[in-house]
Amino acid sequence: MANEFVSRSLDEIRFWSRIMKEHSLFLSLGFSSDDIKLIDEAKQFITVFERIEEQLNRFSVSSDPQQVKAFNNQVYQSVASIWAYKRKVLGLTLRCEVLSNNYPLLIDHTSREAAYFANRLKELNEGKLVPLPEAIIQENVFFLKIMADHAKFIGHLLDPSERKLVDQAREFSHDFDQLMYQAIDLDHMKPESETPALLGQFLDQNRVSVVSLRDFKKTARDLIEACRIKSNIHPLLADHVFREAERFIEIIDMFEGHLQNSHG
């Protein structure tokens, strides 16, 4: 159990610290060049999460759980700070007090990912390692919205002349909006909806769509890297959203494994 706590903590920090570092880069690139203070703040977060990654490298699965717990707390503070920064930038953007090339939905999206990460760290430190059925539905609501947002960002950041890809992105956006509402429907029906059969079917259905979105993102990433399509998408952003889809698939696998274990 102690080992599981350590390995899960390190895994969350490894994945999400890199994500937080990249958000800081994307936010810093979105401002106009005279918004020096906001750009500097974003860059400071790059340093903060790089340091966390360095610290992380000194831990291993055999590390002392107490030290990992303290590290989780430390990382939590940094994630809370970047969350507050993102919400500040969102407010400035929505009030038209700064001009940013980042869509408000993207800024909000990155803040939701920070809130998710912070919450994971809190849960781990509270000893919540195994997902409850209720958490399975809510986690899917969270990730389905994340995937729906990604499809919208891709659709809106592609060059308008990339008509076929824009259409595909729009279809993914619609598909994930539907899946998200379906998940919300299921969430409203809980706890009666928390049967292994319904949860299993729910996860299967989500997986099919996430796998196909993941493949679309992989193709887009490769084409962007090879400069074969026209877009405003930073190559690192293309890779970033691809990794987040992979993460969602891993989480679905973990949930399915858990359902099978607990219900034979």
- Applying CB under 5 A, the residues found at the interface with Fe ion are 19, 113, 244
Nearer to Fe ion, 19 or 38 (CB): 19
Q: How far is the CB of 134 from Fe ion (least distance, A)?
A: 23
Q: How far is the CB of 196 from Fe ion (least distance, A)?
A: 30
Minimum distance between the CB of residue 148 and Fe ion, rounded to whole angstroms? Answer: 11
Please identify, using beta-carbon distances, which residue of 139 and 244 lies nearer to Fe ion.
Answer: 244
Whether 76 and 48 have beta carbons less than 8 Å apart is answered as: no
Instruction: Compute the C-alpha angle 262/255/239, nearest 5°.
Output: 165
How many alpha carbons lie under 13 Å from residue 65 in its C-beta half-sphere?
A: 11
| Min separation Cβ 122 and Fe ion, Å | 19
Q: Which is nearer to Fe ion, 236 or 259 (CB)?
A: 236
Nearer to Fe ion, 101 or 260 (CB): 101
Residue 20 vs 183, nearer CB to Fe ion:
20
| CA-wise closest residue to 179 among 137, 230, 215 | 137
With respect to Fe ion, which residue has the nearer C-beta, 239 or 244? 244
CB of 245 to Fe ion, least distance (A): 9
In whole angstroms, how close is the CB of 147 to Fe ion at the nearest point?
Answer: 8
